[in-house]
């Protein structure tokens, strides 16, 4: 979606797009992804619907005990908000599913471990499965943790893990994993979309700068963004990227340097508290009067926006763009009932807007449900992990962020990427928001399965 | 019969040898971690309990061992035995260099220097992406023998060899020289011991033992991360030694086993875990200064160091 689109038009387009996607997704995606593999089974959304019918019939082959799903997020410490917002959504999804009769009649029971228990991430995952009886795993905030769990999941446990936050391309794109899936957006498509956004909206931009956290995520984000931008705009000048320590409290010297260099575009993968601290200091030092655009792929996180506060949203000056894995106002609740129900229920239950991790973890539980029912429709009994994996591949599940297509080729969930402009909540929302969303089709910004610009 | 170091070792390892039959895969794995923590803590105690030097940087040996095995197996395609040999070489060199520089001082100054060198290694692991994978670490480390239970026995066997070697050294005249330096370095000097060289030797032996344990840990976890080099793990090793008791040879080993199980059962949230660790450590020092094993040892009529 390139040119400017008015809000009303945008709603119409978005609404039509969402409906179209839901209908077309299953058929289109699965046929598309299986191109050339003639003779393989065809899989469509209708099978999921068939599965739902099956769930209403009491049938044999289904264990009587509840289905234990183990999740792991940062529940305490500086990143505890992630686990809090994700587990709230998981609890809500489990409650909804259980109230509707469970999954094929089995009640869902959630158990959890704290990812902040750093030394024991691997042990605790194994404990949930081998000692506490978890049949399916969900979660993982840290990219590093997701990578160190690969062998544990694939070789030792051989139990499905649905990742809902960790965003490193290496998890799904460096090799095809068998038992690991990711229903949340990962870094690369957001950064690709950012580069397209920058190239299309700022055709005169001459200089681009970067400030990001000094670890793999910050380095990889800039590598992807800058390389795609360079392909689109070979003449653009890339300034030396700046990387800062996690938890930096004083960005003054970096901001002074940007004020001197006056880059047209400042890309920043700072996140969480760091993103808010940098932003507030940049406002104080007038940085946004010296640049044309500030582009931050992690700005669309409600806790970061809360920390920035309405009073720090500059009026005029640079365009401030933010993205994330899900934004509670997209697809617009007015045209997409799944998101409306999710946001309304979340708000009335917990008194706040769902964070992006809430949207992705909520989706994970419904993906599990859909996959179990799909496998059941084929086999007639409760799926073992291998059946479950087969049913997860090329599955389409309606999440709050829109239909998510779990691509068979790399087990990565595909859905639309959005970029929105920072605006004040203005009393309607308790924190700043993203508005004037630009939405990118996943086909435009997702690399082919098992292809990534990041070094494996 | 008074308790003896050898018999205590034999008894503990005999119990550990039958444990997997009763424990199930998860607890066997936990025991394997405990055995490695315990071996690392006994290594640490060669320096702390027997030579009188508190190192606050032993995670550097543990982490260096783990990283070298991971790099050897994943990046260089070496076999496990070759990686382990390389790891001993790397840990030995690190011990000699950091020991040479740190042992110009004793007591708190020595502790601070070891802490600084440990953090230096941590910083290198965090930055040198092409070699260490930075914050993502190295993953996909193959596990020799594959199966956790088989690997458990490999860990048990190697740890037994390490502990027997340490015990033999500590019972030898060299061990007596370490003790004399611990008890009175000035007298040791006057008697004619090359105190600095012996301290460096003790430091290197101590580092190598901890390094072997760390080397075996990477394939158990199938990954290694910068946290294995972080100072909090150095502190954990000190804690294990004091928990079990630094005045009995087997004490820190039991301390390592206990540490893993306390961590596994008593903790729900990290904050409370740190609080619990603090309270336990405070209570131990005030009420049970010789540690849990030390207390039992004394009650059985054994001799404390």
* SS3 category, A413: strand
* SS3 category, A322: strand
Closest chain B C-alpha to A166 CA, distance in angstroms = 12
Closest chain B C-alpha to A429 CA, distance in angstroms = 33
How far, in whole angstroms, is CA B228 from its chain's centroid? 12
Joined tokens for residue A138: 């969900």
Contact B29 A152 (CB under 8 A): no
Q: Distance (Å, rounded) from C-alpha A411 to C-alpha A393?
A: 7
- To test the contact with chain A by mutation, choose from B29, B225, B233, B266 the residue with the greatest count of A C-beta atoms within 10 A, namely B225
How much is the average pLDDT of A8-20?
Answer: 48
Closest chain A C-alpha to B22 CA, distance in angstroms = 14
- Residue B246, domain member (yes or no): no
Contact A301, A323 (CB under 8 A): no
Contact A143 B29 (CB under 8 A): no
Number of domain units in chain B: 1
Tell me how many residue pairs between chain A and chain B have CB atoms under 8 A apart.
77
Q: For the domain made up of A188-323+418-445, give the CATH fold.
A: Rossmann fold (3.40.50)
Contact A206, A182 (CB under 8 A): no
Question: Residues of chain A whose C-beta is under 8 A from some C-beta in B?
Answer: 75-77, 114, 116-120, 122-123, 126-127, 130-131, 143-144, 147-148, 150-152, 155-156, 168, 170, 215-216, 219
- Residue B66, domain member (yes or no): yes
Joined tokens for residue A59: 């049938």
Q: Distance (Å, rounded) from C-alpha A296 to C-alpha A270?
A: 7
Q: What pLDDT, on the 0 to 100 scale, is given for residue A24?
A: 46
Q: What pLDDT, on the 0 to 100 scale, is given for residue A354?
A: 96
Q: Say yes or no: do domains A3-185+331-415 and A188-323+418-445 share a fold.
A: yes
Among B139, B236, B270, beta carbon nearest to A150: B139
Q: What pLDDT, on the 0 to 100 scale, is given for residue A418?
A: 96
**CB-based contacts of B185, cutoff 8 Å, min separation 6:** B52, B106, B195
- Residue B88, domain member (yes or no): yes
Closest chain B C-alpha to A117 CA, distance in angstroms = 6
pLDDT tens digits for B239-260?
A: 999 999 999 999 999 999 999 9
Least confident of A119-123, A171-175, A324-328: A119-123
Query: For residue B291, how many other CB atoms are within 10 A of its CB?
Result: 27
Confidence of residue B271 (pLDDT cuts 50, 70, 90): low
- Residue B297, domain member (yes or no): no
Confidence of residue A91 (pLDDT cuts 50, 70, 90): very high
What percentage of chain B has pLDDT greater than the value 90? 79
How much is the average pLDDT of A52-77?
Answer: 77
Contact A127 B26 (CB under 8 A): yes
Contact A446, A438 (CB under 8 A): no
Contact B239, B278 (CB under 8 A): no
- Residue B280, domain member (yes or no): no
Q: What pLDDT, on the 0 to 100 scale, is given for residue A103?
A: 97
- Residue B176, domain member (yes or no): yes
Segments forming the whole domain that contains residue B37: 5-228
Contact B222 A75 (CB under 8 A): no
Chain B residues with CB inside 8 Å of A70's CB?
Answer: none
Contact B222 A148 (CB under 8 A): yes
Of the CATH numbers 3.40.50.300, 3.40.50.2300, 2.102.10.10, 3.40.50.970, which one belongs to the domain with range A3-185+331-415?
Answer: 3.40.50.2300
Least confident of A61-65, A127-131, B98-102, B160-164: A61-65
pLDDT tens digits for A357-382?
A: 999 999 999 999 999 999 999 999 99
- Residue B305, domain member (yes or no): no
Q: Distance (Å, rounded) from C-alpha A227 to C-alpha A57?
A: 53
Beta bridge partners of A211: A242, A268
Q: What pLDDT, on the 0 to 100 scale, is given for residue A69?
A: 98
pLDDT tens digits for A384-393?
A: 999 999 999 9
Joined tokens for residue B47: 């320096």
Closest chain B C-alpha to A77 CA, distance in angstroms = 7
Q: Distance (Å, rounded) from C-alpha B35 to C-alpha A362?
A: 40
**What residue ranges do the domains of chain A occupy?**
3-185+331-415, 188-323+418-445
Mean pLDDT of chain A: 88
**Residue owning tokens 């709230």:** A88
pLDDT tens digits for B86-145?
A: 999 999 999 999 999 999 888 899 999 999 999 999 999 999 999 999 899 999 999 998
Closest chain A C-alpha to B269 CA, distance in angstroms = 7
pLDDT tens digits for A184-234?
A: 999 999 999 999 999 999 999 999 999 999 999 999 999 999 999 999 999
Minimum Cα–Cα distance from A75: chain B residue:
B269
Beta bridge partners of A293: A265, A319
* SS3 category, A407: coil
Q: Distance (Å, rounded) from C-alpha B27 to C-alpha B106?
A: 40
Q: What pLDDT, on the 0 to 100 scale, is given for residue B283?
A: 85
Joined tokens for residue A109: 């029971």
Chain A residues with CB inside 8 Å of B227's CB?
Answer: 118-119
Confidence of residue B277 (pLDDT cuts 50, 70, 90): confident
């Amino acid at each position: 979606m390139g040119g400017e689109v008015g809000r009303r038009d945008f709603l119409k387009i978005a609404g039509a797009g969402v409906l179209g996607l839901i209908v077309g997704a299953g058929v289109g995606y699965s046929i598309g992804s299986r191109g050339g593999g003639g003779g393989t089974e065809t899989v469509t959304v209708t099978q999921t619907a068939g599965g739902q019918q099956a769930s209403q019939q009491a049938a044999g082959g289904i264990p009587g005990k509840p289905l234990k799903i183990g999740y792991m997020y940062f529940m305490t410490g500086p990143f505890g908000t992630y686990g809090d917002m994700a587990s709230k959504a998981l609890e809500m999804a489990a409650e909804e599913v259980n109230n509707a009769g469970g999954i094929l009649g089995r009640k869902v029971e959630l158990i959890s471990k704290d990812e902040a228990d750093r030394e024991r991430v691997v042990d605790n995952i194994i404990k949930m499965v081998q000692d506490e009886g978890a049949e399916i795993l969900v979660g993982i905030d840290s990219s590093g943790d997701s990578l160190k769990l690969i062998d544990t999941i694939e070789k030792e446990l051989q139990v499905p893990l649905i990742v809902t936050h960790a965003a490193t391309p290496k998890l799904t794109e460096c090799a095809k994993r068998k038992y690991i899936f990711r229903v949340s957006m990962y870094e690369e498509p957001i950064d690709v979309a950012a580069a397209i956004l920058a190239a299309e909206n700022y055709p005169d931009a001459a200089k681009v700068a970067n400030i990001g956290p000094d670890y793999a995520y910050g380095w990889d984000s800039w590598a992807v963004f800058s390389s795609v931008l360079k392909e689109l705009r070979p003449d653009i000048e890339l300034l030396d990227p700046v990387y800062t320590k996690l938890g930096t409290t004083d960005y003054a010297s970096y901001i002074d340097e940007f004020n001197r260099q006056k880059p047209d575009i400042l890309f920043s993968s700072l996140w969480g508290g760091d993103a808010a601290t940098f932003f507030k200091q940049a406002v104080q030092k007038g940085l946004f009067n010296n640049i044309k655009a500030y582009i931050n792929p992690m700005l669309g996180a409600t806790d970061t926006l809360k920390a920035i506060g309405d009073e720090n949203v500059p009026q005029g000056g640079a365009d401030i763009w933010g993205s994330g894995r899900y934004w509670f106002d997209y697809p617009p609740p007015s045209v997409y009932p799944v998101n409306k129900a999710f946001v309304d229920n979340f708000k009335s239950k917990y008194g706040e807007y769902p964070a992006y991790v809430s949207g992705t973890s909520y989706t994970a539980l419904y993906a599990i449900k859909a996959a179990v029912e799909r496998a059941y429709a084929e086999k007639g009994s409760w799926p073992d992990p291998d059946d479950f994996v087969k049913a997860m591949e090329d599955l389409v599940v309606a999440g709050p962020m829109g239909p998510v297509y779990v691509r068979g080729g790399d087990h990565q969930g595909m859905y639309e990427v959005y970029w929105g402009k920072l605006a004040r909540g203005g009393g309607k929302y308790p924190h700043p928001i993203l508005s004037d969303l630009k939405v990118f089709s996943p086909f435009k910004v997702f690399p082919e399965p098992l292809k990534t610009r990041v070094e494996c | 019969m008074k308790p003896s170091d050898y018999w205590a070792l034999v008894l503990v390892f005999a119990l550990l040898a039958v444990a997997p039959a009763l424990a199930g895969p998860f607890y066997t794995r936990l025991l394997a971690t405990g055995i490695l923590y315990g071996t690392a803590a006994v290594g640490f105690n060669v320096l702390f309990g027997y030579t009188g030097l508190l190192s606050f940087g032993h995670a550097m040996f543990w982490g260096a061992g783990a990283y070298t095995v991971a790099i050897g197996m994943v990046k260089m395609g070496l076999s496990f035995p070759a990686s382990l040999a390389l790891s001993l070489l790397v840990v030995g060199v690190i011990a000699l260099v950091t020991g040479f520089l740190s042992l110009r001082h004793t007591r708190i100054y020595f502790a601070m220097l070891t802490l600084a060198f440990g953090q230096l290694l941590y910083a290198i692991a965090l930055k040198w992406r092409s070699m260490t994978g930075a914050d993502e670490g190295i993953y996909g480390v193959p596990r020799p023998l594959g199966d956790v239970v088989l690997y458990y026995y490999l860990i048990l066997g190697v740890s037994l060899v390490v502990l027997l070697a340490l015990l033999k050294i500590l019972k030898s005249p060299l061990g007596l020289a370490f003790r004399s330096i611990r008890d009175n370095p000035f007298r040791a000097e006057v008697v004619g011991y090359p105190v600095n060289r012996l301290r460096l030797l003790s430091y290197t032996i101590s580092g190598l033992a901890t390094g072997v344990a760390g080397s075996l840990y990477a394939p158990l976890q199938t990954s290694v991360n910068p946290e294995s080099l972080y100072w909090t793990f150095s502190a954990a090793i000190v804690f294990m030694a004091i928990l079990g008791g630094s005045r009995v040879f087997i004490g820190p080993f039991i301390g390592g086993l206990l540490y893993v199980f306390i961590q596994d059962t008593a903790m729900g949230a990290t904050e409370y875990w740190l609080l619990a660790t603090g309270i336990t450590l405070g209570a131990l020092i005030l009420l049970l200064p010789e540690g849990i094993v030390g207390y039992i040892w004394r009650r059985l009529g054994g001799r404390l160091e």
